């Protein structure tokens, strides 16, 4: 089933569309779903479910698909370090996968309890990661494979902040630059390496 592995790797960070993926793999949906369940049971892939302020009313029902091992995903996509340095199209999704997997790992030992989700509305607003803590307070993270974030990169975070009001704790863009760049209230761009500079538990 190597073809499914490669097709799944090509959809990192995308909404999981079973019918589209089954067509691409030329398999029945039932077979595809069983295989994806096997990949999840063996910790090869994982799903990130959609967030909504109302648990009974999901904005989007589809989860996003990620690989536990980003190196495996890169291998399936035939992307090496040289290609990533040359701005390969897969660079953004692989970087997003790296951040999501690292955050899930850090949540296992963090003193702060939070549940990770992704956020996407039918209008197209989206945020890569929403961390919902006790009481419904949320922090949000957007991942950008660029050294110079644009104003438009904050759009999803800004709209989520306005929708949540006081429940919005902070919004962050993790990017490949070296500076902390503020953008309005409770919004910042931070260098990617700050992901590993959190305090000990």
Q: What integer pLDDT is reported at residue 201 of this predicted model?
A: 44
Please report, in tens digits, the pLDDT of each residue of the chain (201 residues total).
Answer: 578 899 999 999 999 999 999 999 999 999 999 999 999 999 999 999 998 776 655 555 789 999 999 999 999 998 887 766 656 778 889 999 999 999 999 999 988 889 999 998 888 889 999 999 988 899 999 999 988 888 888 999 999 998 899 999 999 999 999 999 888 788 999 999 999 885 544
107 close to 82: Cβ distance less than 8 angstroms: no
Q: What integer pLDDT is reported at residue 91 of this predicted model?
A: 85
Q: What integer pLDDT is reported at residue 200 of this predicted model?
A: 46
- Please give the Cα distance from 67 to 8 (Å, whole number): 9
Q: What integer pLDDT is reported at residue 185 of this predicted model?
A: 82
Q: What integer pLDDT is reported at residue 58 of this predicted model?
A: 53
Task: With CA atoms as reference, report the closest residue to 64 among 47, 78, 79.
Answer: 47
Structure tokens at 182: 């503020």
Q: What integer pLDDT is reported at residue 86 of this predicted model?
A: 56
Residue identified by tokens 């538990």 is: 201
Residue identified by tokens 């390969």 is: 88
Count Cα neighbours of 32 within 13 Å in the Cβ-side half-sphere. 19
- Please give the Cα distance from 94 to 109 (Å, whole number): 24
């Amino acid at each position: 089933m190597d073809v499914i592995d490669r097709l799944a790797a090509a959809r990192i960070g995308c909404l999981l569309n079973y019918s589209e993926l089954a067509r691409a793999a030329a398999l029945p949906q039932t077979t595809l779903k069983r295989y994806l369940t096997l990949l999840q049971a063996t910790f090869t892939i994982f799903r990130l479910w959609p967030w909504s302020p109302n648990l009974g009313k999901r904005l989007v029902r589809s989860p996003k698909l990620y690989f536990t091992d980003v190196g495996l995903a890169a291998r399936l996509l035939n992307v090496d370090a040289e290609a990533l340095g040359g701005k390969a199209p897969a660079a953004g999704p692989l970087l997003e996968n790296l951040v999501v997997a690292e955050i899930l790992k850090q949540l296992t030992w963090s003193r702060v309890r939070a549940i990770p989700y992704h956020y996407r509305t039918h209008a197209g607003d989206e945020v890569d990661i929403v961390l919902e803590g006790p009481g419904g307070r949320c922090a949000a993270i957007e991942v950008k494979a660029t050294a110079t974030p644009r104003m438009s990169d904050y759009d999803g975070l800004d709209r989520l902040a306005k929708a949540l009001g006081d429940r919005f704790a902070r919004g962050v863009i993790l990017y490949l630059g070296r500076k902390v760049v503020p953008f309005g209230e409770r919004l910042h761009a931070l260098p990617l390496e700050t992901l590993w500079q959190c305090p000990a538990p």
